[in-house]
A and B are shown apart, each in its own frame.
Chain A
Amino acid sequence: MLVTKSMTKKVLTVKKDAGLFEIRNLMKENNIRHLPVVDGENRLIGIVTDRDLRSAMPYRIYREPTTASEESERISKKKVADIMTPDPISIPARYTIQDALLLIDAHRVGAFPVTEEDGTLVGIVSVRDLIRAFINVLGIGQPGTLLGIVVEDKVGQLKRIVDAITEENISLGSILVARYWDEHKRAVFPYLLTNNVRRIKKKLEELGFQLLDPMDWYFDRVKK
Chain B
Amino acid sequence: MHKTGLLFDQRYLLHDTGSYHPEVSDRLLAAYKGIKDSELLSDLILFQAIPADIRWIETVHDRAYIDRLNDACVSGRKQFDSADCQICAETYDTAVLAVGGILRAIRWVMNGKIDNAFCPIRPPGHHAETNQAMGFCYFNNVAIAARYLQQEFHIEKVGIIDFDVHHGNGTQHIFEKDPSVFYYSIHQHPSFAYPGTGREFEEGSGEGLGFTKNSPVLPGGGDKEYHTLIQQDLVPAFDRFQPDFILVSTGFDAHMDDDMADMNVTSEGFTWIMSRIVELADRHADGRIISVLEGGYSLKRLPELVGQHVGILLNGAQAG
Residues of A within 8 A of B (CB): 140, 142-146, 169-171, 193-199, 201, 213-215, 217
Are A195 and B83 in contact, CB atoms less than 8 angstroms apart?
no
CB distance from B46 to the nearest CB of A (A): 31
Q: Is B279 an interface residue (CB 8 A)?
A: no
Q: Is B112 an interface residue (CB 8 A)?
A: no
Are B218 and A144 in contact, CB atoms less than 8 angstroms apart?
no
Closest to B129 in A: A143
Are A213 and B194 in contact, CB atoms less than 8 angstroms apart?
no
In the complex, what residues of B have CB within 8 A of residue A142's CB? 196
B residues 183-202 near A (Cβ < 8 Å) are 191-197
Nearest 5 CB-CB pairings of A with B: A143-B195, A214-B219, A195-B135, A195-B194, A145-B194
Are A198 and B196 in contact, CB atoms less than 8 angstroms apart?
no
CB distance from A62 to the nearest CB of B (A): 29
In the complex, what residues of B have CB within 8 A of residue A169's CB? 83
Are A195 and B197 in contact, CB atoms less than 8 angstroms apart?
no
Instruction: Report the count of interface residues on B (CB-CB < 8 A).
Output: 26
Q: How far is the CA of A195 from the CA of B194 in the complex (A)?
A: 5
> In terms of DSSP, what is the predominant structure of the interface of chain B?
loop
In the complex, what residues of B have CB within 8 A of residue A217's CB? 192
| Given the contacts A169-B83, A170-B83, A201-B259, A194 and B196 also touching, CB distance less than 8 Å | no
A-B contact pairs, 27 of them (CB 8 A): A140-B196, A143-B127, A143-B134, A143-B169, A143-B194, A143-B197, A144-B195, A144-B196, A145-B194, A146-B191, A146-B192, A169-B83, A170-B83, A193-B82, A194-B82, A194-B194, A196-B21, A196-B22, A196-B136, A198-B22, A198-B260, A198-B297, A214-B192, A214-B218, A214-B219, A215-B220, A217-B192
Q: How far is the CA of A144 from the CA of B84 in the complex (A)?
A: 10
In the complex, what residues of A have CB within 8 A of residue B21's CB? 196
In the complex, what residues of B have CB within 8 A of residue A213's CB? 219-220
In the complex, what residues of A have CB within 8 A of residue B191's CB? 146
Closest to B166 in A: A195
Q: How far is the CA of A194 from the CA of B84 in the complex (A)?
A: 6
Are A199 and B135 in contact, CB atoms less than 8 angstroms apart?
no
Q: How far is the CA of A209 from the CA of B264 in the complex (A)?
A: 23
Choose among A143, A198, A215 the residue that contacts B259 (Cβ–Cβ < 8 A): A198
In the complex, what residues of B have CB within 8 A of residue A144's CB? 194-196
B residues 242-268 near A (Cβ < 8 Å) are 259-260, 262
CB distance from B217 to the nearest CB of A (A): 12
Closest to B219 in A: A214
Q: How far is the CA of A146 from the CA of B195 in the complex (A)?
A: 10
7 new A-B contacts at CB < 8 Å, known A144-B195, A194-B84, A217-B192: A143-B169, A169-B83, A171-B83, A195-B136, A198-B259, A198-B297, A215-B218
In the complex, what residues of A have CB within 8 A of residue B84's CB? 194-196
B residues 37-84 near A (Cβ < 8 Å) are 82-84
Closest to A170 in B: B83
Q: How far is the CA of A193 from the CA of B259 in the complex (A)?
A: 18
